[in-house]
């Protein structure tokens, strides 16, 4: 036995929605369902245990102005951790956050590299801003730098048009996505509007962020191709405020943003009903606070997704989709303990009783 403290989690351990066990142990930071022989220093935690929450669209190391210093990025990661988010898919950041991998007290991060956007078609200081002829090269670069994901900006406001429009021609995204796949990376894209979606999906994209432009005629295509969406409803809630701010300069864009906001719940429920994979993501780190994964699960329920499925979208199925374990034998002991059953009421997620990361109680 190691001298490291053994943690005993007892009560109800939600290995899956229906796979419920009475207890687990953590030894040397990993999960065991067998009581360790000779354990002397044992700490017991009682409650309802879930795998650490997943935020599949988060930005550590980024704020509304661009990259942030390491101490700010650390606070962002700690805020997510203390709210129970222990696995993050960082959907684009100009900051180098590899130092977080060496910290056992901070969430695990799956990086998508830096955003790749069209010149002057995204938030300043966020992305590589390039033209279509350079897209394949930059996708290859970020595929090598990331952790199996690349992030494109699929649409943004076109100032000449005064509205959202697609950023890339079809042939450019086809070649870029093919190159990412050749290098073993999946591709996702920021998309608010309708007109970028068909080309991206038919080009082989793996995921769409926000997906507010998903329409009834596009839903079957997404379902057929198995393209996931991460709706970030806690971020879409800001659309009316954004629309108000742009009304005087871009009235067409403002009206469009309000329409996308008004139908947001119908869009997500339509996707779910069609069998499109839906996952929890907040878009924290731009203009949005960290630590909102629990609120996003609640938003999915408001949209009409059954509570257990919304919970799975931020735990069991999200981890499987990202290729990371849950509460499996021998897996890293990353879990959150609650006073009540979160399957019965997802609002429980907002108040973790204990947060356990790498087998240690950190919150």
Digit-by-digit pLDDT tens for the chain (363 residues) are 344 679 999 999 999 999 999 999 999 999 999 999 877 788 999 999 999 999 999 999 999 999 999 999 999 999 999 999 999 999 999 999 999 999 999 999 999 999 999 999 999 999 999 999 999 999 999 999 999 999 999 999 999 999 999 999 999 999 999 999 999 999 999 999 999 999 999 999 999 999 999 999 999 999 999 999 999 999 999 999 999 999 999 999 999 999 999 999 999 999 999 999 999 999 999 889 999 999 999 999 999 999 999 999 999 999 999 999 999 999 999 999 999 999 999 999 999 999 999 999 998
Bridge pairing between strands 207-210 and 155-158:
unpaired
Q: What pLDDT was estimated at residue 1? A: 37
Q: What angle do CA 209, 212, 215 make, to 5 degrees?
A: 120
Quote the pTM value.
Answer: 0.97
Which domains are delineated in the chain? 6-50+325-362 (2.30.40.10), 53-322 (3.20.20.140)
CA angle 289, 358, 93 (to 5 degrees): 35
d(CA 213, CA 219): 10
Residue 152 β-bridge partners: 116, 189
Query: Pairing state of beta strands 6-14 and 42-51?
Result: parallel
What does the pLDDT look like over 333-362, one tens digit per residue? 999 999 999 999 999 999 999 999 999 999
Contact (CB, 8 A) for 184 and 203: no
- DSSP at 332: B
Nearest to 288 by CA among 104, 50, 91: 91
Task: Quote the CA–CA distance of 305 and 203 in Å, as a whole number.
Answer: 28
Strands 354-357 and 360-361: antiparallel
Q: CA–CA separation, 268 vs 240, rounded Å?
A: 18
Q: How far apart are the first and last CA of the chain?
A: 25
DSSP secondary structure string, 222-245? HHHHT-EEE--HHHHTTHHHHHHH
């Amino acid at each position: 036995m190691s001298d490291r403290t053994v943690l005993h989690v007892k009560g109800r351990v939600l290995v899956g929605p229906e796979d419920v066990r009475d207890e687990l142990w953590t030894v040397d930071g990993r999960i065991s369902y067998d009581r360790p022989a000779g354990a002397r220093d044992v700490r017991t935690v009682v409650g309802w245990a879930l795998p650490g929450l997943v935020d599949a669209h988060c930005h550590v190391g980024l704020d509304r102005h661009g990259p942030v210093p390491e101490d700010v990025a650390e606070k962002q990661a700690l805020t997510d951790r203390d709210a129970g988010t222990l696995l993050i898919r960082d959907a684009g950041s100009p900051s180098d956050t590899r130092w977080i991998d060496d910290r056992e007290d901070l969430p695990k991060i799956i990086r998508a590299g830096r955003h790749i956007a069209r010149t002057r078609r995204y938030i300043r200081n966020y992305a590589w801003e390039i033209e279509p002829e350079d897209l394949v090269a930059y996708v290859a670069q970020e595929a090598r730098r990331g952790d199996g994901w690349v992030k494109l900006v699929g649409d943004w406001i076109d100032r000449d048009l005064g509205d959202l429009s697609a950023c890339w021609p079809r042939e450019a995204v086809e070649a870029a996505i093919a190159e990412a796949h050749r290098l073993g990376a999946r591709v996702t894209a920021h998309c608010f509007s309708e007109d970028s979606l068909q080309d991206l999906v038919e080009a082989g994209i793996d995921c769409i962020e926000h997906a507010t432009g998903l329409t009834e005629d596009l839903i079957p295509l997404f379902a057929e191709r198995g393209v996931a969406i991460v709706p970030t409803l806690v971020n879409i809630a800001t659309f009316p405020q954004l629309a108000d701010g742009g009304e005087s300069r871009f009235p067409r864009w403002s009206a469009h943003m309000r329409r996308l906001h008004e139908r947001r719940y119908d869009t997500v429920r339509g996707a779910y009903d069609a069998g499109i994979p839906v996952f929890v993501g907040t878009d924290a780190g731009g203009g949005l606070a960290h630590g909102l994964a629990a609120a996003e699960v609640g938003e999915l329920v408001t949209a009409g997704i059954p509570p257990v499925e919304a919970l799975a979208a931020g735990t069991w199925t999200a981890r499987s989709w990202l290729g990371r374990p849950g509460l499996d034998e021998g897996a890293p002991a990353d879990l959150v303990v609650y006073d009540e059953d979160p399957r019965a009421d997802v609002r429980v997620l907002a108040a973790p009783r204990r947060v356990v990361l790498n087998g240690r109680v950190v919150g």
